[in-house]
Amino acid sequence: MSVAITQSRQGPSEAPGALDRLGRYRLVCELGRGAMGVVYRARDPVIEREVAIKTIRVDLPRDEVALFEARFFTEIRAAGRLSHPNIVTVHDAGREGACCT
CA–CA distance, 101 with 98 (Å, rounded to integer): 10
Q: How confident is the model at residue 45 (pLDDT cuts 50, 70, 90)?
A: very high
17: left (phi over 0), alpha (psi -120 to 50) or beta: left
Q: How confident is the model over 18-41, as a mean pLDDT?
A: 87
Q: What is the pLDDT of residue 4?
A: 52
Q: How far apart (Å, rounded) are the C-alpha atoms in residues 81 and 36?
A: 22
pLDDT category at 99 given cuts 50, 70, 90 is: low
- The pTM (predicted TM-score) of the whole model is 0.72
Give Cβ neighbours of residue 76 (< 8 Å, ≥ 6 apart).
Answer: 4, 90, 93
